[in-house]
Amino acid sequence: YRWYRCDVAETTSLDDTSTAFRSTSLKGALAKASPLQYGCFTPKISKEIVQEMVAIACAKSHRSEFVGIYEAPDKPYKTFIDGSETIHKACLNAVAAYAKLPKDGNLAFRTGTIYYYPTAAEWDQGNRGVKCFSWDSGRTYTRSIKGAGTSVLPVN
């Protein structure tokens, strides 16, 4: 016999992937707006490296927002990791789709990206999902950029 089991668990945060203690079921927890959903963030950055992504309400001043998942192609993990420019471009396209921006030569001048990719162990287990975030070092937002277009994300 073969059988499969799928478990769902809540993690402590984007940066701390340890399992969080829950006293209630996760059933239906993402069916409507929920604190479990990724939204807007204030990244803590040191020497151009993200140290922590602090979740914040989108109505409060922030510089980053979760825009979607890029499903990377199946290739050796080292090849994937060494392709940071490919990952960045894929996440830029995710920002464009999320914010309704044209995918043209100006896209990189409208926004940047932050991304979290699977660990080697997760990759070996088949996880190819890269979490993509918009990133703006020059301006802050007090709303979601979802569907915002070029008026909210003009060329810098």
DSSP codes joined into one string, 21-53: P-SS--TTTTSSS-TTS--EEEEEEETTEEEEE
Report the pLDDT value the prediction gives residue 17, as an integer from 0 to 100.
Answer: 86
Instruction: Report d(CA 86, CA 79) in Å as an integer.
Output: 11
Q: How does pLDDT run across 73-128, given as a tens digit for each residue?
A: 999 999 999 989 999 999 999 999 999 999 999 999 999 999 999 999 999 999 99
**Angle at the Cα of 61 from the Cα atoms of 89 and 51, rounded to 5 degrees:** 55
Average pLDDT over residues 30-48: 91
d(C-alpha 73, C-alpha 96), whole Å: 20
